[in-house]
Amino acid sequence: MRQIILDTETTGLEPRLGHRIIEVAGVEMKNRRLTGRHLHHYINPEREIDAGAMAVHGITNEFLEDKPKFAQIAREFMEFIAGAELVIHNAPFDIGFLDMEFSRLDLPPMREICASVRDTLKMARELHPGKRNNLDTLCERYQISNAHRTLHGALLDAELLADVYLAMTRGQESLVMDLSPPSLKTHADNNTRKNDKTRPPLLVRRANDEEAALHQQVLEHIQKESNGQCLWLGRDQVSGIRNP
């Protein structure tokens, strides 16, 4: 299966208010293995970046002045994700921005380009309800080093998310039980061990009179509380006990 681990950075939080994508990145994975192939572009959004967004990703208006517009990278991006399953953290956010960019160019929406979308934020909330599930927290939870992540960046975040996704979906291989029938050799080995005369005899420690009396009291108590249903009393013992 071909998957693209995807992330974007934007000028703000709401595409319907005219906010645009300023960075997009995706790393390719096939059959749960990173292929080394990726796509990464900074994009001139043709508008100012909100101060709040700039504080998150550190990308400035001046840095983006000479970068391509989304229209110039749209076809390359579409070809890169075509037919793949997208893996995105908080997918509705990124998909909303990408759909808005495509609509500006009269291009089809994301659902018609990629095979499907998997939201790792939704997955994390189902796996860890009531806990923080942002990317930094998930990296810490799954012991993935993100020490080099001081600001958000689409390519770095996509690479970290790939590791997080693999950790979240790895399963429990170490706990798989072997349910195959034992071989004849196994039975023979077991019988050999059972008949091994070199083993020391099993030490049996019998209850003394005081311990036996206490045990009998417990059984009689169970017999009364269960209305005569105690399974550990013999018939001769039961006959001597009067139930209430």
Is 39 within 8 Å of 15 (Cβ atoms)?
Answer: no
Query: For residues 94 and 109, what is the distance between their CA atoms, to the nearest angstrom?
Result: 12
Sign of CA dihedral 228, 230, 235, 240: negative
CA atoms within a 13 Å half-sphere pointing along the CA-CB vector of 119: 11
Is 83 within 8 Å of 114 (Cβ atoms)?
Answer: yes
For residue 77, give the 3-state DSSP assignment. helix
User: Is 41 labeled as catalytic in the residue annotation?
Assistant: no
Q: Measuring CA to CA, how many Å separate 167 from each of 23, 100, 143?
A: 26, 32, 9
For residue 4, give the 3-state DSSP assignment. strand
For residue 86, give the 3-state DSSP assignment. strand
**Which residue among 41, 57, 152, 215 is the active-site one?**
152
Residue 24, beta-bridge partner list? 8, 41
Question: What values do phi and psi take at 66, rounded to 5?
Answer: -100, 10
Kindly tell me the burial class for residue 108, based on how many C-beta atoms sit within 10 Å of its own C-beta (0-12, 13-18, 19 or more): exposed
Catalytic positions, please? 152
